[in-house]
Chain A
């Protein structure tokens, strides 16, 4: 687990994954706590856990579980869209007193399929190629899924743009009508008023 970032003890850190439907997303994380005495991050922090919450684009909670200081979580999206993965520690210390930092190592993989590396090593050369080809085919399917999702999104984009365009046109017409009718009303109203006041 290579990439890491720092977080406050009670802070919730979220990342966004925009995935097509029926896609497996796997996350690996490791969390370390800052030790004030040693002035370094502890190798392991027993009792420290992380709440992992995954929210679908429809704002439903797909996954909400408490894991230990190190863990793997996974979920399969059934809707296409932006899923939000949030991590928050289960520390119960008060924020002001704690002032402690957490180091969170995170690794998220989308659409990958785990295959047994040992199987590849064991088999002979012909089957190795076979194996790689099967994996290639799976990955091509993923690309195809992403492309379909991209088509949906582009359609939504186009609809928004066309809606904006027609809104502007409609507004221009309405504005002109309002201006003309208000103008007529103003003149009429003032004329009647002046006539009634015997000024004209």
Chain B
């Protein structure tokens, strides 16, 4: 996954003209965090060239049981990946043909919980830092050092994103738990008081207006 700023991380984003030129072999990554209302389905589409290696990774951050249905289809409608009620998953595939690939997240099984879903869709591999077209010699030491720093930082960012999402999920659960405990305590206190005071008055009422009947039974 490409991380918080989702593009070829340490490479400069090419200006639009260059992007068109590189369209055939461009590495793109899109990561979006969005809210999926209950009973809703949200689909995303992307044009992918044949032979490109792509990775779809998603995670549910807040809501209910933290699960969502996910489905990935190729341009012919063939389902490449389908999972129900998953909390987190990562799926890599190679595009078998050109066209628009579609992936959908569905919260249709849930009646009243909104889910916040994060996904990261990476298309293609990152282009090399120092492209080898105009090279006469091998990479200098400086350049090799740059390349290894680049790779190391890529994995730092990857871990950072994963950690950030897990922490968000954990925090969401902790806050849910806190509210639930608060409500339950108050509710139970009220029930306790109402029931116990009510019991006493109810018992008293059994004896108060039936005075004549009790004396008759007694004698």
A-side residues, CB < 8 A to B, are 2-6, 13-19, 106-112, 114-115, 117, 120, 125, 128-129, 132-133, 135-136, 139-140, 142-143, 146-147, 150, 153-154, 156-157, 160-161, 163-164, 167-168, 171, 174-175, 178-179, 182, 185-186, 189-190, 193-194, 197, 199
Q: Is the Cβ of A2 less than 8 Å from the Cβ of B30?
A: yes
Mark each residue of chain B from 195 to 213: 1 if its CB lies under 8 Å from any CB of chain A, else 0.
0110110011001100000
Q: How far is the CA of A117 from the CA of B121 in the complex (A)?
A: 25
Q: A107: nearest residue on chain B (CB-CB)?
A: B30
- Cβ contact of A3, chosen from B10, B33, B45, cutoff 8 A: B45
Besides the known contacts A132-B129, A190-B204, 13 further A-B residue pairs in the complex with CB atoms under 8 A apart: A2-B46, A4-B46, A17-B33, A106-B30, A129-B142, A135-B12, A136-B146, A139-B9, A139-B153, A150-B163, A153-B168, A164-B178, A168-B181
Helix, strand, loop or mixed for chain B's interface?
Answer: helix
Q: Is the Cβ of A142 less than 8 Å from the Cβ of B4?
A: yes
| Chain B stretch 1-54: residues in CB contact (< 8 A) with chain A | 4-7, 9-10, 12-15, 18, 28, 30, 32-35, 42-47
Helix, strand, loop or mixed for chain A's interface?
Answer: helix
Q: How far is the CA of A112 from the CA of B61 in the complex (A)?
A: 24
- Cβ contact of A132, chosen from B10, B34, B192, cutoff 8 A: B10
Q: Is the Cβ of A167 less than 8 Å from the Cβ of B44?
A: no
Q: Tell me how far the C-beta of B163 lies from the nearest C-beta in chain A, rounded to whole angstroms.
A: 7
Q: Is the Cβ of B178 less than 8 Å from the Cβ of A167?
A: yes
Q: Tell me how far the C-beta of B14 lies from the nearest C-beta in chain A, rounded to whole angstroms.
A: 6
Q: A150: nearest residue on chain B (CB-CB)?
A: B164
Given contact pairs A139-B153, A147-B160, A160 touches B189 in the complex (Cβ within 8 A): no
Q: How far is the CA of A164 from the CA of B182 in the complex (A)?
A: 8
B-side residues, CB < 8 A to A, are 4-7, 9-10, 12-15, 18, 28, 30, 32-35, 42-47, 116, 121, 123, 129-130, 140, 142-143, 146, 149-150, 153, 156-157, 160, 163-164, 167-168, 170-171, 174-175, 177-178, 181-182, 185, 188-189, 192-193, 196-197, 199-200, 203-204, 207-208
Q: How far is the CA of A189 from the CA of B207 in the complex (A)?
A: 14
Q: Is the Cβ of A5 less than 8 Å from the Cβ of B167?
A: no
Given contact pairs A111-B4, A175-B192, A4 touches B32 in the complex (Cβ within 8 A): no
